């Protein structure tokens, strides 16, 4: 599971990479240094990805809150996207 220190310490590499959190939330770190919050989920038998914003504008806490709201919609049978 991620914490704020791990998120801040993430440095760009030659290829994009993911730092995973819980419930399929992850931080995508690009070679240019961007840090993007994303969440994978399945709806109607298809794999989908939602974007929650850019770190540090969207904090780890905010990304988890957005993920939890999206999961609630998914559990209610609605596509959160």
pLDDT of residue 63: 98
Q: What is the pLDDT of residues 10-61, one digit of tens each?
A: 999 999 999 999 999 999 999 999 999 999 999 999 999 999 999 999 999 9
SS3 61: helix
Q: How many CA atoms lie within 13 A of 78 on its CB side?
A: 8
Cα dihedral 27, 62, 53, 7, rounded to 10, equals: -30
């Amino acid at each position: 599971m991620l914490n704020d220190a791990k998120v801040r310490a993430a440095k760009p590499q030659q290829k994009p990479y993911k730092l995973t959190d819980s419930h399929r939330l992850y931080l995508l770190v690009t070679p240019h240094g961007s840090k993007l919050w994303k969440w994978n989920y399945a709806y109607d038998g298809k794999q989908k990805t939602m974007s929650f914003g850019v770190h540090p504008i969207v904090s780890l806490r905010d990304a988890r809150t957005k993920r939890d709201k999206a999961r609630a919609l998914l559990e209610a049978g609605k596509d959160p996207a």
